[in-house]
Amino acid sequence: MGRIDGKLAIVTGGASGIGRACVRRFVREGARVIVADRNARDGKAVADELGQRFVELDVTDEAGWAALVGSLDRLDVLVNAAGVGVVADIETATLEQYRFVNAVNSDGVFLGCKAAIGVMKATGGSIINLSSVAGLVGDANLPAYCASKGAVRLLTKSIALHCARKGYNIRCNSVHPSFIDTPMAESMIEASPDPAKMRKRLVDAAPLRRFGEADEVASLILYLASDESKFTTGSELVIDGGLTAR
């Protein structure tokens, strides 16, 4: 028997990285999963491999969210894992870059939560929002990313309080990874002026001196998706190799 047998989940950003790791882990633990991503090729490949449904979704599109959730009779779990990042400090980042990062990382989470609550409130559910250690501490090279992930952290707490006060039995928590070995992290490293120096800086940032693995984050998210965490809401769960301990 799986830890989330019979549950229906949506995982955004399910085509790669942490999202893909969540999809695979959820299926192994008995859930049905809707793989949602704007990357149709890779998202469909993940869904087909696991015998699940793929939906092409731009998380910043409110109508797309309405169409996806409107097609469901129930929803037990939403994982907002879609995300982007831009390496550019406050003097070099453009307003266009700032708005793009915040549209995906913050607005996309807002829209996903809003849509999910509409169908979850009848039967309850769990919403897991991917924030970051960059939503807890600053990084001089990531102002847009820090702003977006800080927004996710407090949006999550607001949603948790709202759902509790309404008696919806919907839990909402945020997960805060540090540097995880994913395509997004790799793209940010390669986009930096000195990729080798950036890679070393990221590895050395954690006292455990390595990148985290997507499967390790998926294990934590699985806990939040399961009934094992039924008294956990409004929490920020950190998985960072000790980065924020000092």
Q: Cα–Cα distance between 226 and 222 in angstroms, integer?
A: 6
Distance (Å, rounded) from C-alpha 214 to C-alpha 159? Answer: 26
Which candidate in 98, 145, 168, 223 is catalytic? 145
State the pLDDT at residue 85: 92
pLDDT of amino acid 187: 81
Q: Which parts of the chain register pLDDT below 70?
A: none
Q: Using CA atoms, how far apart are residues 25 and 215, in angstroms rounded to an integer?
A: 8
pLDDT digits (tens, 9 = 90+) for 175-191: 999 989 888 888 878 87
Nearest partner of 168 among 106, 81, 75, 235, judged by Cα: 75
Give me 47's structure tokens. Answer: 């869904």
Active site residue 145: yes
Is 204 exposed, middle or buried (CB count within 10 Å of its CB: 0-12, 13-18, 19+)? exposed
The predicted pLDDT at position 68 comes to 98
On whether the CB atoms of residues 12 and 108 are closer than 8 A, the answer is yes
The CATH class of 8-182+213-230 is alpha beta
Domain boundaries, the chain: 8-182+213-230
pTM of the model: 0.95
CA distance 40 to 243: 34
